[in-house]
Amino acid sequence: MPDLSARAQLPGFTDSLTTGLLWLDDFLRFRYVNPAAKTLLDLDGQLIRSEPVAKALAGNDTFFAILERVRSTRETVTQRELLLDVGLPDTRHKVTVDCTVTALSESEEIPELLVELIPLDRHMRISHEAGLAQQSGINRALARALAHEIKNPLGGIRAAAQLLERKLPQPKMAEYTRVIVSEVDRLAALVDKLLGPARPATPVEVNLHALLDHVARLMGEGAGPKILRDYDPSLPELMLDRDQIVQALLNLAKNAGEAAGADGRVTFRTRSLRQFTLNGVRHRLMACADIEDDGPGIPPDVRPKLFMPLTSSKPQGSGLGLSIAQELVSRQGGLIEYTSRPGCTVFSVLLPVEAADAHASA
Ligand SMILES: Nc1ncnc2c1ncn2[C@@H]1O[C@H](COP(=O)(O)OP(=O)(O)O)[C@@H](O)[C@H]1O
Ligand SMILES: [Mg+2]
């Protein structure tokens, strides 16, 4: 006899696991899919209960071979670094998982199956991103030190040029001193950008959706690429520095708009992530804002230094947008990560929610 009480408990505690769980009946149909598996396998929004797993995960022959093996032998099988093709035809992509399949009963003719899927991409990506964020921190420190060195004499040069202007014998010669002043001002503005926002974060309660709408307005919504919204209404308010988060989101949105082009599409999407570990800290709840575009994707040669200052593939680019955005988000305890392929680039801003919780209960 299958242990029905254990089965009945399965959905309860598995909701908050980061491991994806599939419970398949004896016809290999979904009996239960936990939220982590839905996200991992891109099953969100599809009717999955009682649907054959073969339909949702078509084309994954290795995976089905494992299921069949466990059904016939009842041995538990673990396959490391299994590559799965997931998603709907237009959002098809690959995920890497450690996969364990267990037969759920001893006695029935054909056993039901429990499939555990541990996502590896996210772990690999996050440690990679954390490395990048750290590297970008070091580079920013260097850029900052350099910027200070450049900025100090600029004031002197500007003042001297203005003084000189007043002493010039012919007023026409002032053209030259004005070039000096305007170039000094341009350099000073660039240095200010390099120095980044100086003031520390002052968190206030903010609504991420209101901020994203504000960013859409700043982007000149209506004139450029089409901006679509896919907001998770259950997202709680967050405790963040409003200006700094707007700046970070705007930098990402501008890049997305530039990549998508006037005829392209940019999507602002929000969702909440449960039990998420970031920089070694486990968060009960995190908010995620995705900024997606249908542009050509991030050039491969740019990727290794994407978040470093002065990295740009654009003729007029400052290469500061992403490094500043990453710094601003990390100041709020968050992280920016990305995935990119031609036609779909997503920058995800992960932000902790706890602070707002603590605030609410105080
Ligand atoms: N959404 C995107 N799609 C494609 N490439 C991107 C995207 N966002 C950033 N990039 C790449 O990253 C580089 C750095 O971006 P950023 O730091 O904002 O500097 P800038 O926009 O001034 O070039 C860009 O030049 C571009 O090559
Ligand atoms: Mg930019």
For residue 212, give both structure tokens. 């994203």
CATH number assigned to the domain with residue range 4-119, chosen from the 4 options 3.40.50.720, 3.20.20.140, 3.20.20.100, 3.30.450.20: 3.30.450.20
Mean pLDDT over all residues of the chain? 84
| Residue 243 CA to its chain's centroid (Å) | 19
Ligand 1 atom 9: residue of nearest CA: 255
Domain 204-361: give its CATH superfamily. Answer: Histidine kinase-like ATPase, C-terminal domain (3.30.565.10)
Determine contact, residues 197/328, Cβ cutoff 8 Å.
yes
Mean pLDDT of 317-322: 89
Most informative mutation of 132, 139, 312, 340 for ligand 1 (most atoms within 8 A of CB): 312
Longest CA–CA span in the chain (Å) reads 105
Asked if residues 112 and 2 have their Cβ atoms less than 8 Å apart, the reply is: yes
Q: Looking at residues 92-115, what average pLDDT do you find?
A: 86
Residue 120 has pLDDT above 60, yes or no: yes
> Domain extents for the chain?
4-119, 125-195, 204-361
Taking the CA of residue 317 as reference, the ligand 1 atom at the shortest distance is 22
Give 321 Cα–ligand 2 centroid separation in angstroms. 4
346 by Cβ neighbours in 10 Å (0-12 / 13-18 / 19+) ranks as middle
- Both tokens of 143, joined, read 């850029």
pTM of the model: 0.62
Residues 260-312 have pLDDT tens digits of: 999 999 999 999 988 777 766 778 889 999 999 999 999 989 988 888 888 89
pLDDT 10s digits, 246-271? 999 999 999 999 999 999 999 999 99
Judged by phi (left if over 0) then psi (alpha if -120 to 50, else beta), residue 282 lies in beta
Q: Which two tokens stand for residue 52?
A: 């054959």
List for the chain the helix, strand, coil content (%; round to 5): 45, 25, 30
What's the CA-to-centroid distance between 318 and ligand 1, angstroms? 10
3-state secondary structure of 362: coil
